[in-house]
Amino acid sequence: MSHITEHNGEKIHRGRIEVICGSMFSGKTEELIRRMKRAEIARQKVEIFKPSIDTRYAEQDVVSHEGKAIPSTPVDSSASILLLSADTDVVGIDEAQFFDENLIDVCNELANRGTRVIVAGLDLDFKGIPFGPIPQLCAIADDVTKVHAICVHCGAQAYISHRTIDEEKRVLLGEQTIYEPLCRSCYQKALKGNDKEIPD
Please name which of 35, 65, 19, 52 lies closest in space to residue 161, comparing C-alpha atoms: 65
Catalytic residue among 31, 47, 95, 180: 95
Q: How far apart are CA 34 and CA 73, in angstroms?
A: 17
> Is 59 a known active-site residue?
no
Q: How far apart are CA 80 and CA 198, in angstroms?
A: 45
* 10-21 b/e (C-beta count within 10 Å ≥ 16 → b): eeeebbbbbbbb
Q: What residues act catalytically?
A: 95
